[in-house]
Chains A and B, each alone.
Chain A
Amino acid sequence: MNSRPATPRPRKRLRTRLSGTWADRVLMLLVLSAIAFGWLHIRQLAGGGEAMVDIYRGQTLLAEYPLHAEAVVHFSAQGDIGISEIVIADGNVAISDSPCTGRKCILSGHKHRIGDMLVCLPNRILVAIRGDAQAFDAMLE
């Protein structure tokens, strides 16, 4: 297509390429500050107190356990396509088995922080760690 001889294009430095235009940077700044603000807000809402593990199927709460319990908890959550096995031990919660194909919930590993969640989308199972402060409950309503 190009009949004329190819003129060498001006080569740009990597930094120029990475930095974007002013509009891009302003956008990024806005986005980052919104994320930071949202994050802090959520940290506040999630609150402190004793860490509890909530297990949901869709909208219904199936079970509630303290995260730091003496005994190991094995819970079989009946979801849309089968049973997800949930294990709570040593202040950690994990999904050890699930009938889904993607296995993302199992690959998510162990969670222990307040606000962390394990999700099995095909089975519609949600495992959430929350503090037992009031604010979180109010958010859930």
Chain B
Amino acid sequence: MIFSASGAPSRTGTVSSRPPLNELQDKARWMALLMLAVGIHVLESALPGLGPWFKPGLANIVTLVALVMLGPWQALSLSVARVLVGAMFIGTLFTPTFIMSLSGALAAALMMLFAYRVIPGISLIGVSLLGALAHMLVQFFTVEALFIQQTALFYLLPPFLLVAALTGWLNGVAASYIVERLQPDEAIESGLAQGAAPGATHG
């Protein structure tokens, strides 16, 4: 495993008040993923990208990885923490940009938890697709509710959603590749990594 702490000594004779190693390891992984997500978030805000309003949403890949490796609530808290810490670095804390990021990230995370749990046969690609769409939609509604109260704003929605669908799909591909590489071999062999190996059953 990539995230395993080197030389963790507490195999025998642990003090009972100390939290179990598994728990600590998960926390360390969460923190490592958070650092990664914040890094991508900040990098992305500096990218010129596809146009002033489009972002590829790469930081969402980390949320997807957390969703599979750590669990739903860790993924949700990760995406919120990423937006918070990222905003501190970019200097947009509590500005409209921040509110947009936060609403979008929350919506995407919730949507992805839901999709991952509920929709049968879905892989990380579909999960990411739905997350990206939820992100975009909720941002539009946030703008409409808080900043520019014009229904005509929704006329912009189709092209934005189209780009979101494409980037969402590609991010999903990236995420499932990463998850596949991070999972231990046994997990893949015993079929635990359901979402991680989309093409395996019918490829």
Contact A21 B121 (CB under 8 A): yes
Those of B161-203 within 8 Å (CB) of chain A: 161-162, 165, 169, 172-173, 176-177, 180, 184-185, 188, 198-199, 202-203
B13 contacts A by Cβ under 8 Å: no
Report if A27-B158 is in contact (Cβ < 8 Å); known contacts: A1-B184, A108-B53.
no
Known: A17-B177, A31-B165, A126-B150. A121 touches B129 (CB 8 A): no
Evaluate whether A128 and B149 lie within 8 angstroms (CB atoms) in the complex, with A31-B129, A108-B52 already known: no
Contacts of A56 in B (CB 8 A): 148, 150
Q: Which of B27-35, B64-72, B74-82, B93-101 contacts A (4 or more CB under 8 A)?
A: B93-101
Count B interface residues, CB 8 Å. 49
Point out the residue from A1, A23, A102 that lies within 8 Å of B126, measured CB to CB: A23
Question: Is the beta-carbon distance between B155 and A117 smaller than 8 angstroms?
Answer: yes
Chain A residues lying within 8 Å of B143, measured Cβ to Cβ, are 119, 121
By DSSP majority rule, is chain B's interface helix, strand, loop, or mixed? helix
Give 8 nearest A-B pairs by CB, closest first.
A23-B121, A24-B126, A104-B52, A16-B199, A39-B158, A107-B52, A20-B125, A59-B149
Instruction: Note all chain A residues with C-beta closer than 8 A to B7.
Output: none
Whether A20 contacts B165 in the complex (CB less than 8 A), given A1-B1, A39-B158, A46-B155, comes out as no
Q: Are B126 and A18 in contact (CB under 8 A)?
A: no
On chain A, the residues within 8 Å of B198 by CB distance are 17, 20-21, 24
B residues apposed to A, CB below 8 Å? 1, 4, 51-53, 92, 95-97, 100, 119-123, 125-126, 129-130, 133, 143, 147-153, 155-159, 161-162, 165, 169, 172-173, 176-177, 180, 184-185, 188, 198-199, 202-203
A52 to chain B, nearest CB (A): 12
Question: Residue A71 at the B interface, CB < 8 A?
Answer: no
Q: Are B147 and A124 touching (Cβ within 8 A)? A: yes
Do A20 and B169 touch (CB < 8 A)?
Answer: yes
Task: Report yes or no: A28 in contact with B165, Cβ–Cβ below 8 A.
Answer: yes
Find chain B residues with CB under 8 A from A124 CB. 147-148
**Which residue of chain A has its CB nearest to the CB of B122?**
A23
Residue positions of A touching B, CB distance < 8 A: 1-2, 4, 6-7, 9, 12, 16-24, 27-28, 31-32, 35-36, 38-39, 42, 45-46, 56, 58-59, 101-105, 107-108, 115, 117, 119, 121-122, 124-126, 128, 130, 136, 139-140
Please determine whether B176 and A126 come into contact, CB atoms closer than 8 angstroms: no
In the bound complex, residues from chain B placing their C-beta under 8 Å from that of A128 are 150, 152, 155
Chain B residues within an 8 Å CB radius of A20 = 123, 125-126, 169, 172-173, 198
- In contact, A28 and B129 (Cβ under 8 angstroms): yes
Closest to B195 in A: A21
Question: Shortest CB–CB separation between residue A40 and chain B, in angstroms?
Answer: 9
Q: A103 — nearest CB in chain B belongs to which residue?
A: B52
Extra inter-chain contacts (17) besides given A27-B122, A58-B148, A119-B148, CB under 8 Å: A1-B1, A2-B1, A9-B180, A12-B203, A17-B176, A20-B169, A21-B125, A23-B122, A24-B122, A31-B133, A35-B162, A35-B165, A58-B149, A107-B51, A119-B143, A122-B96, A125-B148
